[in-house]
Structure 1
Amino acid sequence: MLPNRRDGGEGGRPQSDRLERLIEILVFIVVSPFVGFMLGGLLMVLVAWLSRHQTPTQVGADSATCSSSSRAPIVSPTTATTHRRPSFL
């Protein structure tokens, strides 16, 4: 017969396993947002550094060009023709 983990047999100590798992989850809950915050801050500093010699108008124009070129065309479900969004959107 296989040992039952609840009875503290050879399968290990159940309370210890649960505590270790709980600690692992709590560490992840605390560390994960901190890592995300740090990576977001680094990306923000990188973008600010890359655009340090540009005016806000130039930066806005560059981002609008990048975002409009990455859009997919809009397909009408009734006619299956391709329509592009106006450039000001």
Structure 2
Amino acid sequence: MDSVVVIRRTGGDIDWNDGRDIWYHEAIASVSDQCEPEWMDSEDPLFILYTSGSTGKPKGVLHTTGGYLLQAAMSMKYVFDYREGETYGAQPTLVG
């Protein structure tokens, strides 16, 4: 681990490491509010979720960029009939 970004929230004491820790408010002070997208291949990893291990050792489940996002878009259109301006929230299935 190269750095730990620390957010000042509670005012409590922090076990600070000068060679590793950086303040969030200082890190964002010099960056642009614009961020160009990074083009990804549809099979690039998006995220990994781990099962609880209730039937043995926990297993990692890799979700790819195209697969997960395409399924989410299809669900919004064909299952939930989402319309512009609506607000929607849901807990996704972790493995399936």
> Normalised by the size of structure 2, how large is the TM-score?
0.19
Please identify which structure carries the higher helix content.
1
> Normalised by the size of structure 1, how large is the TM-score?
0.21
